[in-house]
Amino acid sequence: MKIFKNVFFVLVISISIILAGCGASNTVKGGAIGTVGGGVVGGVIGKQLGNTTLGAVLGAVIGGTAGALIGNHMDKQAEELEKELENAKVERVGEGIAITFDSGILFGYDSATLQPEAKTNIKKLADILKKYPGSNILVTGHTDSDGTEKYNQTLSEKRAKSVADYAIVQGVSSSSISTVGLGETEPIASNDTVEGKKLNRRVEIAIYASDELKKAAEDGTLK
């Protein structure tokens, strides 16, 4: 909750500064909100919070009527994802979706090979992604701090790639998916406890509008 309060605060302050400086019409103000909420503030928030997934989603915000259409598109997609994906946390953020998988569900200890249950989950994810085309998908791998930084970095990259590769095998366009391994650099809990380490070993997925989807929303052709 604290993270989202900080996000909201930064958005409000940034938008207020721009609007105060331009004394613009409602149309221009709408454009300003889209620009600030997306490219600038999204990137800044992602860096400040140390959360690449959140930054990717917020960085794609465009605001206005197009943003509302994309938001509705994402609402429907998130509802299906939450219903179908087991052992995954699905969150609607801005005009996108953030999904977190506990890596213990996806992989065995010290492994980047997907377990049978993981394949079932990723197949369900892929089926829904195909049903709602036009999104960019960023898959990020994370580890706890056990082991060397170099080893954790490599393991996180392999795990992110395993998830993406299996989604592609299930029919998701390879051009829509990118991966990044972040090793132990973005913990969400303390690595001093067993439970904290468990939370830090995870794979996160950001789903956000592609340029194609944004154009469809702006043209009013997005269903």
The predicted-structure confidence for 19-33, as pLDDT tens digits, reads as follows 344 443 332 333 333
Would you state the pLDDT for residue 50?
64
Which CATH superfamily hosts domain 64-219? OmpA-like domain (3.30.1330.60)
The pLDDT of residue 126 is above 50: yes
Domain boundaries, the chain: 1-49, 64-219
- The dihedral sign for the CA sequence 48, 49, 50, 53: negative
Would you state the pLDDT for residue 132?
93
Would you state the pLDDT for residue 6?
44
- The dihedral sign for the CA sequence 75, 139, 115, 187: negative
Select from 116, 201, 109, 209 the least CA-distant residue to 160.
Answer: 201
